[in-house]
Amino acid sequence: MQQHLTIFDPFDEMRFGHHICFSCGTTITQDQQTPVFPAWLMEKYGFGQELLRMLDQSIIAYQDLKIPCCHQCQTQVLDPLEEKVRQALSQGVTGLRGLEEKVLFQWLGKMFYGTLVTELIKEQNPLVRPEYAVSEQPKMLLKFQSFFRVLQSIRVPIEFSDFLPCSLFIIDVDASAEPLRFEFRDELSTMMFSVRIDNALVVCCLLDNGMIKQSLRRVWDIIEPRQLQPIQAAEFSARVFYAAYLLNVVPDYLLRPVKPQDDHLVMDTLIDDVTNVIFNPWQHTSYAKLLATVWAKWGITQEDILRDPAEPLSMLFSPEGEFIEFPKIPGEQAGN
């Protein structure tokens, strides 16, 4: 097979370490690293020194979160990718929406994978025994392995036959009350990643072949053209995170055989939806619990959300299903 069409699979023999390029698997020296969060983004939004809590409860500054990356992958793969996103982002929500979805998937995917790899490298150290060791959960590892296959499109030219591996939502948020800000959230087990940059909130399930977007289609069609208040954006994001939690299938990805003249790979996907239910049933109580965590800064509790147990509180839609243009936050006086 042509060298540049060779896929790297670190999960095959659990090859994670400071001397293995995360992207291509080349052996490198320990000083060859790349920041998980792009340097230009940290600089622009000044969050490099802010702290992040890892799975093992250790605390690290964003700028210190780095993964092994060879010089070739840095200059040929990551730099051009960052440049595309940086330019798109300078045009805000419109710019991001104009970007090829696959590129945005790769950009988010690299950050997600970066935090994951950091956990995996740590777990190679026998002295570190996190309570929930990722590498000891076979189901999760299979998921990450599938994800890494599609993320290899970052380096190897891969055409996805008729799918996008993820569900991607770009939400326009009214940022007038909180301008110039960066916020990020990820959840390894559900493959969820969200990042808020100024008035653009990007919420993504990185490994669902668009099934969540499909299931939220009716709601998304109403939301996409509108600008949301931060409390509404938080609610929508909670719906996506909850849907990811209910998702019950993991897509499989298969490469077509390569012919000598091929200049790229073609990948097909399979979802076992015959024996599996795609989404577990929605439960208002667990959804309300999740929503309460993102609404905590508005002082809204799980109890408030479930005042009507059959109809959880929404800032997006009235009980009649109408979009709420000016949500009234409970406990806040009108006119405030």
User: Which residues in this chain contact Zn ion in the complex, by CB under 5 A?
Assistant: 21, 23-24, 26, 70, 73
If the CB atoms of residues 23 and 269 are measured against Zn ion, the closer one turns out to be: 23
Q: 227-228 and 167-173: which strand pairing?
A: parallel
If the CB atoms of residues 68 and 230 are measured against Zn ion, the closer one turns out to be: 68
Q: How far is the CB of 123 from Zn ion (least distance, A)?
A: 22
If the CB atoms of residues 71 and 297 are measured against Zn ion, the closer one turns out to be: 71
Q: Report the candidate in 229, 213, 248 with the shortest Cα–Cα distance to residue 315.
A: 229
If the CB atoms of residues 26 and 63 are measured against Zn ion, the closer one turns out to be: 26
Q: How far is the CB of 71 from Zn ion (least distance, A)?
A: 8
Q: How far is the CB of 155 from Zn ion (least distance, A)?
A: 7
Q: How far is the CB of 242 from Zn ion (least distance, A)?
A: 36
Q: How far is the CB of 22 from Zn ion (least distance, A)?
A: 7
Q: How far is the CB of 74 from Zn ion (least distance, A)?
A: 8
Q: How far is the CB of 21 from Zn ion (least distance, A)?
A: 3
If the CB atoms of residues 72 and 137 are measured against Zn ion, the closer one turns out to be: 72
Task: Label residues 72-92 b or e (16+ Cβ within 10 Å = b).
Answer: ebbeebbeebbebbeebbeee
If the CB atoms of residues 32 and 190 are measured against Zn ion, the closer one turns out to be: 32
If the CB atoms of residues 24 and 240 are measured against Zn ion, the closer one turns out to be: 24
